Structure 1
Amino acid sequence: MLSSGLLVASVYGVIIAVGLVGNITLIRTFCSAKSVRSEPNLFMSSLALGDVLLLLTCAPVDASRFLSEEWLFGRAGCKIIPFIQLTSVGVSVFTLTALSADRYRAIVKPLETSASTTTIVLRAALIWVASLILAVPEAVYSDLHTFSVPHTNESFVTCAPYPHEGRLHPQLHSVASFLCFYIIPLLAISVYYTLIARSLLQSSQLPVEGNVHATRQIESRKRLAKMVLVFVGLFAVCWLPSHILYLYRSYRYSQVDTSLAHFIFSVAARILAFTNSCVNPFALYLLSRTFREQFNQHLCCCCRFVLRRSPQSPAHYNTRMTSVHSTRHSVASLTAINGKQVEQEEYL
């Protein structure tokens, strides 16, 4: 049992490391230059910040459950950790909804004026505030509770959303969470993308031959809409098993399921949910050429910092420095030639 726990904890460790590198680099990429501070990019930075928070706090705590049968973080941790996790889930799904709304406005209503940076930041802040408020019940009701295993006459104390007495409260909460943090946002996103698909279908039937700018604009909007749709799909797939598990447990709350199938499904669901916090930067890396170049540039900067600290291989260090400066000069020249608008279109 200990060996399986170590294996699961090791998987968590990989997810945390990869997720932190990807999301922190994404935030640095989007916030490093004023020219890339568009609405989608700022929303993606907010989404990445929520993922970083989840990976730093909730993922290690979740991994500890497989290394120790006891809850190690006290009553205060039992209040704070579920609150942070639900806040991060809210930030993710509500930000994806906002991104879908942004793509809807850009494609269906392209003549509307773009929002200012201040307005975009306020919208992102409102998403955080709403997520924090909706997560308050999780902090209020989560506590240390004693559960019993009937066929072994054993009992254990763990952090749980509710005491095991009563069934209505857990069931109402699980259904409300499923609706607020999964079903309703995904339905709203589906409506936006239905309207986007209809608009793109209509625009594809318009004569744009000979108009290079119009053709490029349509293709850029399609590409950006596809990127957001990929992120939505990843969220839907990664978080559905956790919601199913939560619903199942809320309807069997007074019973402790010790079956192997339940254990395997629980581990898979939790790992898949935390995986969602590390895949977005790498999905964007594969989908966007310009983001890929900027991402590589920031990683090279990190490598340059490490090499600067290392006394070894000075010749190799000088070569890498020259390469980095040349790449940066090429990117800057490309930006000067193509203009600010093209650079923003290459990003999400």
Structure 2
Amino acid sequence: TNRTTFNWTDSRIVEWEKFAELAKYEPESQKPTVKALLIVAYSVIIIMSLFGNMLVCHVVLKNKRMHSATSLFIVNLAVSDIMITLLNTPFTLVRFVNSTWIFGKAMCHVSRFVQYCSLHVSTLTLTAIALDRHQVILNPLKQRMSLTKGALSISVIWLMATCFSLPHAIYQKLFQYNYREATVRSLCLPDFPEPAELVWKYLDLSTFLLLYLLPLLIITITYTRLAKKLWLRNAIGDITTQQYIAHHKNKKKSIKMLMLVVVVFAVCWFPLNCYVVLISSLGIKTKNSLYFALHWFAMSSTCYNPFIYCWLNESFRSELKSLLCICQKVPPAGDNALPPMVTSYREAWVEQPRHRKGLASQTVCSTVNMQTANTEL
């Protein structure tokens, strides 16, 4: 069974010591003001994350010009954020507020799995985007990643994330104990096989190093090379024309956007990841206020990306205004006269090789920026 019951008076001392050690993750009862603050803070994250990430999926699916391998990665980020928002954040909030787990044995495993899986999917997807941008910008003549290869890459990402998340999900256990007279509480806690402390320690440490720090190191090196390429020197054969200048500016804007997404993600998750490693490695007991703050900060990463896209991307901004009925934008008549793509789409989500004609006859303007170059990610 995955349910163990402890009693303050009749538990065996060995079992109780084990339970007390596992309980280092469990917060005590909360004051009413703290409960209210937690409910408001987490509710804001849940609402903003669901709305924003669904908006991202809607914009990409609606705009056929965005149907490319890069767009699949962007949607994949949004899906992983939606998953953790629906299947982890609300359950964690209720656990924090009530100081007990009320969702049963199955969700004890699922919620833990989702937290780790979503983190790994996001990290690996950001790495895939960085490597794809590296290939496109530094090797512009080589073949782009197709939709099929993009979908295959995403499948591999989810498979890897699932494999690395399963140990955390499998070795979860639902503990029950008599907190006070006629009061039984349930705790969803790690329960690793012996030697439990070593398994816990090295699992968290290896996860932190291999699936957080290493991908971020790869991303940092990749974007550093891209920054040198775009900001410090021009490619051989570049022609200083209005179209090229606009196109080059859009590439820089695209990289800035992606770098900001990575920085926000890394900053949000770094404190909680470090704290979890310290808990498992040093055996320290968590502090309520600190753990709540770090967990909320990590979960808040799910709602920032849509704002970044809307801030730096005209297509997302226009779609948001449309959905909120702030204003209804009617595409200029000239849009219908444009060919499906121009070569300035090279860095955009739309990366179909068949649309490479008409470079000399096209002029980069605000309309093109909204429909094409501003969809670059």
TM-score, normalised to structure 2, is 0.76
| Separation in 2, partners of 1:40, 1:122 | 13
Could you list the runs of 5+ residues in structure 1 that have no partner in the other structure? 304-319
SS at match of 2:144: coil
SS at match of 1:159: strand
Q: Give 1:158's aligned residue.
A: 187
Aligned residues: 315
Q: Give 1:18's aligned residue.
A: 48
| Aligned partner letter, 1:282 | F
The answer to whether the 8 Å contact 2:87/2:110 transfers is no
The Cα of 1:294 is off from its aligned counterpart by 2.8
Q: Give 1:346's aligned residue.
A: 374
Q: Of 88, 106, 109, which residue of structure 1 is paired with 2:139?
A: 109
The answer to whether the 8 Å contact 1:144/1:159 transfers is yes
Q: Give 1:194's aligned residue.
A: 224
Alignment of 1:190-339 (within 5 A): 190-201=220-231, 203-204=233-234, 208=238, 210-253=240-283, 256-257=285-286, 262-297=287-322, 299-300=323-324, 324=328, 327-330=329-332, 333-334=334-335, 336-337=337-338, 339=340
| Separation in 1, partners of 2:302, 2:42 | 12
| Aligned partner letter, 2:173 | D
| Separation in 2, partners of 1:77, 1:219 | 48
Matched, 1:124 2:149: no
The answer to whether the 8 Å contact 1:106/1:221 transfers is no
Matched, 1:30 2:60: yes
The answer to whether the 8 Å contact 1:170/1:250 transfers is yes
| Aligned partner letter, 1:120 | G
Could you list the runs of 5+ residues in structure 2 that have no partner in the other structure? 1-30, 346-367
The answer to whether the 8 Å contact 1:78/1:143 transfers is yes
The Cα of 1:271 is off from its aligned counterpart by 0.7
Q: Give 1:311's aligned residue.
A: none
> More displaced, 21-30 or 164-173?
164-173
Q: Give 1:170's aligned residue.
A: 200
Change (3 A) 1:205 1:115: closer
- Could you give the per-residue CA deviations for residues 295-343 of structure 1, whole angstroms, max 9, x where no partner exists? 323x14xx5xxxxxxxxxxxxxxxx8xx63xx2343x743644753353
Change (3 A) 1:108 1:148: farther
| Separation in 2, partners of 1:205, 1:118 | 30
The Cα of 1:123 is off from its aligned counterpart by 1.6
> More displaced, 106-115 or 163-172?
163-172
| Separation in 1, partners of 2:145, 2:176 | 51
> More displaced, 44-53 or 34-43?
34-43
The Cα of 1:147 is off from its aligned counterpart by 8.8
| Separation in 1, partners of 2:313, 2:116 | 30
SS at match of 1:7: helix
Change (3 A) 1:344 1:131: farther
| Aligned partner letter, 2:316 | F
The Cα of 1:266 is off from its aligned counterpart by 0.7
Choose between structure 1 and 2: higher helix proportion: 1
- Could you give the per-residue CA deviations for residues 127-157 of structure 1, whole angstroms, max 9, x where no partner exists? 12221121111111111247999xxxx9964
The Cα of 1:6 is off from its aligned counterpart by 2.3
| Aligned partner letter, 2:190 | P
| Separation in 1, partners of 2:337, 2:55 | 24
| Aligned-residue identity in percent | 28
Change (3 A) 1:246 1:217: same
The answer to whether the 8 Å contact 2:101/2:185 transfers is no
> More displaced, 207-216 or 32-41?
207-216
Q: Give 2:22's aligned residue.
A: none
TM-score, normalised to structure 1, is 0.82
The answer to whether the 8 Å contact 1:38/1:344 transfers is no
| Aligned partner letter, 1:328 | V
| Separation in 2, partners of 1:124, 1:206 | 34
SS at match of 1:144: strand
SS at match of 2:188: strand
Give the alignment's Cα RMSD to 1 decimal. 2.7
